Amino acid sequence: MKQTLLLKVNPTKPELEKIQTAAQVIRRGGLVAFPTETVYGLGADALNPDAVLALFEAKKRPLDNPPIVHVANASEVYKLAQEVSKEAELLMKEFWPGPLTLVFKRLSIVPKVTVAGLNTVAIRMPKHNVALALIKQSGCPIAAPSANLAGKPSPTNAKHVYEDLNGRIDVILDGGSTKIGVESTVIDVSVVPPMVLRPGGTTFEALKKVLCDVQLHPFVEAEAELPLEKIKSPGMKHKHYAPKAQVILVEGTSEAVTCKIRDLAESYMIKGKKVGILATDETQTYYKADVVLSLGSRLDLATVAQRLFRLLREVDAEGVDLIFAEGVSSEGMGLAVMNRLRKASGYHILKAE
C-alpha cells in the first residue's frame, strides 16, 4: 500500500507550493489525482511509459483502453499529433479550454502504452486552474483517465477518489466538487467528417453550430451493446459507471415512466428487495421506496448531469438491491446523461408507455 497524500487546494487560485509538490510527483513518475471541470482525473507523465503503466494498474484499467492526454496550451497539440485539420483548429479555438477531447493521428513521441497501441491520441485542454497549473508545473503533457476504479462511476469530488484509490496513488488534490459532472465529449478529428465517439460536457448542438458536417457514432445513443466490429473507441466495449446494485433505466414520457417505476418498486419491495430510485424534482414525491433521490429538474439537464455520478454512488452506498432511474430528454446535456445511464444499467432498459 502507498501512503496517499491528501492536499486541499483553492480551486480558483491554487497554492503554488501544493501544485509544486504534486508536479514533482508527476515528474518522478508518480500518480496524482486532480480536479477538472468535468470529473477528477488520475494523472501521470504521458511521455513516461512506466508512469502510464502504473496508472493503468492503480485503476485496474484494461490495457487496451487509452487515457486522454491533457495539455495546458493548444500549441502542445502540434508536438503530439501528426495532422491537425482545419476543423480541429476551429474546435480548439472555440471550445478550449473546456470539456472537448480531440482524437488525432499521433506522432511517435507518444509512447505506445499511453495510446494502448493505437495510431491515434486523444487530447484535451481542461478548464480548471488546478489542472492547468499542475500540467504547467509538471512540464509535460499529463495522461489522465477519470480517477475511479475501472467500471465505477467517475468521481466528481475528492471523497470519491479517496474511496476508490486511497493507498494506490501518491497524491489527491482536493479542489471541491466538479462543475459539469460528466466527462468531456470525445470527437475523432482524424476522420472526415469528424465523429463524436462519446457525448459529454460539450453538447452535439454546440458542435453542429461550429462544424458544417459532424457525425454521431451509433454507440452514443445505442440501446444495446454494439457488435465488436462497430467499436471505434476502446472505451466503448468495457463495463462502465456501474454501481454494485443493478440499475434499471425506464424511458418514456414523464407520466408513463413515473407509473412504471412506482409499480415496479412496489412489486420488488413486496418481494423483500431494497429499492433505490433516481427521480427528478417533478416526480420524486410520487414514489415510495427505500431510497429516493432527485437528480434535479427534468428541465435543467445540466444539473442532472452534475449530480448523476454522485447520486449513483450515494444510492449504491445505501446497500440497495435495485436502482430504478428515470430517463430524461436526449437534448443538450441529456445526450451524455442518457448515454451514462444506459451504460450504468448494462442496457437494462424498459420502455414505459
Choose one: 81-89, 144-152, 281-289, 292-300; the region binding Mg ion (CB under 5 A): 144-152
DSSP 114: G
Q: How far is the CB of 287 from ligand TXA (least distance, A)?
A: 31
Residue 330 binds to Mg ion (criterion: CB under 5 A): no
Cell of 335: 445526450
Residue 234 binds to ligand TXA (criterion: CB under 6 A): yes
Q: Which amino acid is at 168?
A: R
Q: Which is nearer to Mg ion, 200 or 334 (CB)?
A: 200
Residue 46 CA to residue 77 CA, distance in Å, equals 13
Q: How far is CA 164 from the centre of its chain?
A: 15
Q: Which helix (H) or strand (E) holds 325?
A: strand 322-326
Contact 207, 120 (CB under 8 A): no
Residue 269, CB half-sphere, CA atoms under 13 Å: how many? 16
From residue 214, alpha-carbon distances to 94, 102, 194, 197, 207 in Å are 15, 13, 5, 11, 8
Q: How far is the CB of 146 from Mg ion (least distance, A)?
A: 3
Q: Which is nearer to ligand TXA, 44 or 122 (CB)?
A: 122
Q: Which is nearer to ligand TXA, 190 or 283 (CB)?
A: 190
Q: How far is the CB of 84 from ligand TXA (least distance, A)?
A: 15
Q: Which helix (H) or strand (E) holds 144?
A: strand 142-144
Residues numbered 115 to 174 that lie near ligand TXA (CB under 6 A) are 115, 118, 120-122, 126, 144-146
Residue 146 binds to Mg ion (criterion: CB under 5 A): yes
Can you tell me which of 23, 25, 32, 38 binds ligand TXA, judged by CB under 6 A? 38
Q: How far is the CB of 55 from ligand TXA (least distance, A)?
A: 10
DSSP 117: T
Number of residues that bind ligand TXA (CB under 6 A): 28
Residue 271 CB partners (closer than 8 Å, separation 6+):
none
Contacting positions for ligand TXA (CB under 6 A) = 36, 38-39, 41, 65-68, 99, 101, 103, 115, 118, 120-122, 126, 144-146, 183-184, 186, 197-198, 233-235
